[in-house]
Amino acid sequence: MKRIELFSCPMDVATGRETVELIRNRVEARQFTQHVVVNAAKVVHMQRDIVLAASIRACDIINIDGMGVVWAARMLGVDVPERVAGVDLFDDLLAMAAECGFPVFLLGATSEVVQATAETIGGRHPRLIVAGYHHGYFWDDEPAIVEKIGASGARLLFVAITSPKKENFIDRWRAQLGVDFVMGVGGTFDVVAGKVRRAPVWMQRYGLEWLYRVIQEPGRMWRRYLTTNLQFAGLLLKAILRMPRRQVH
Give the model confidence (pLDDT) of 140-172 as tens digits: 999 999 999 999 999 999 999 988 899 899 999
Q: What is the pLDDT of residues 96-140, one digit of tens each?
A: 999 999 999 999 999 999 999 999 999 999 999 999 999 999 999
Closest CA to 184 of 106, 73, 239, 102: 106
The better pLDDT of the pair 242, 226 is held by 242
Indicate if the pLDDT at residue 247 is higher than 80: no
How far apart are the C-alpha atoms of 99 and 128, rounded to whole Å? 8
pLDDT for the residue numbered 118? 98
Phi, psi of 4 (to 5 degrees): -125, 170
% of the chain residues with pLDDT over 70: 97
Tell me the pLDDT of the chain averaged across its residues.
92
Q: What is the pLDDT of residues 54-111, one digit of tens each?
A: 999 999 999 999 899 999 999 999 999 999 999 999 999 999 999 999 999 999 999 9
Q: Which residues contact 44 (CB under 8 A, 6 or more apart)?
A: 228, 231, 232, 235
pTM score: 0.90
Indicate if the pLDDT at residue 248 is higher than 60: no
Q: What is the pLDDT of residues 212-241, one digit of tens each?
A: 877 877 776 777 778 898 999 999 999 999
pLDDT for the residue numbered 245? 66
pLDDT for the residue numbered 87? 93
Domain boundaries, the chain: 2-247
